[in-house]
Every structure is written in C-alpha cells, then in structure tokens.
Amino acid sequence: MDERLEKALEFANYRTTLGNQKRQIRSRMNVIQTVHYEKGTFMADSHTIGFVNALIQHGKKSSVILDIKDTPILIEDLEDFCRELLEAYQAATNEYKTQIEKINRARSVKKLMDW
C-alpha cells in the first residue's frame, strides 16, 4: 500500500477512535451531572445553577422548577438544592477535565488505549 494512504488510514482510525472516546467521556460526565431531587430529574449545568441562584438572590426559599421532562417540581429548600447541583457540576467537570486532558495527550490509537 502507498505509504501516504497507509498513514492517512491510520490517522482516520485514530480520529474515529478518538471521537468515540470523547463521546464516552462526555456520556460519563452526563451521568454524574444528572441529579435526582424531590422526584424530579435535573441537569446540574450552568443554566440550572444560575437560575436557582437567581431565585435565592431574590429572597426565595422555595420554588416550583420544571425538571428535564418539564414536570413541575416543588423545591422546598433552594439552598440545599443549589448545593447538590454545584456538587454534581463540580464532580462532573473535574472528571471531564482529567479524562479529556488524558486523551488529548494521546496521539495514536495505541496511546489512546494505553496499550
């Protein structure tokens, strides 16, 4: 096989494998970021955290918030809810950063797999 073609195919394999590994990591982050609270399911992302924090800043102690399925959930203790969201967000993003940095340093399929 032409050496250039061989290298191109090797690179394509690497990119495909890298793409799938990135999705694995993003999917793992998604699991850690999803919070079950008061029978509702919430995504601990900047949008939700910002909104909950805005409610607290406006003096609210409790509020009805729509979860990811648009189910209205009464959150009786917004401070506690905010704390839980922040914990999940930080755990998820820390894990994400560690894993992404690890695979970004790997420049071949072999290194990606740590073989």
**Candidate residues 1, 5, 31, 64; the one interacting with another protein per rule CB under 8 A:** 31
Mark 76-115 with x for binding to another protein (rule: CB under 8 A) and - for no binding. -----------------------x---------x--xxx-
Burial 66-96 (b: 16+ CB within 10 A, else e): ebeeeeebebeebeebbebbeebbeebbebb
Pick the binder of another protein from 9, 12, 54, 68 (CB under 8 A).
68
Question: Which of residues 7, 15, 23, 111 is near another protein by CB under 8 A?
Answer: 23
Rounded to whole angstroms, the Cα distance separating 43 from 13 reads: 33
What distance in Å separates the CA atoms of residue 6 and residue 33, rounded to the nearest whole number? 40
Euclidean distance between CA atoms 78 and 60, whole angstroms: 8
Residues in contact with another protein by CB under 8 A are 16-17, 20-21, 23-24, 27-28, 30-31, 34-36, 39, 41, 68-69, 71, 99, 109, 112-114
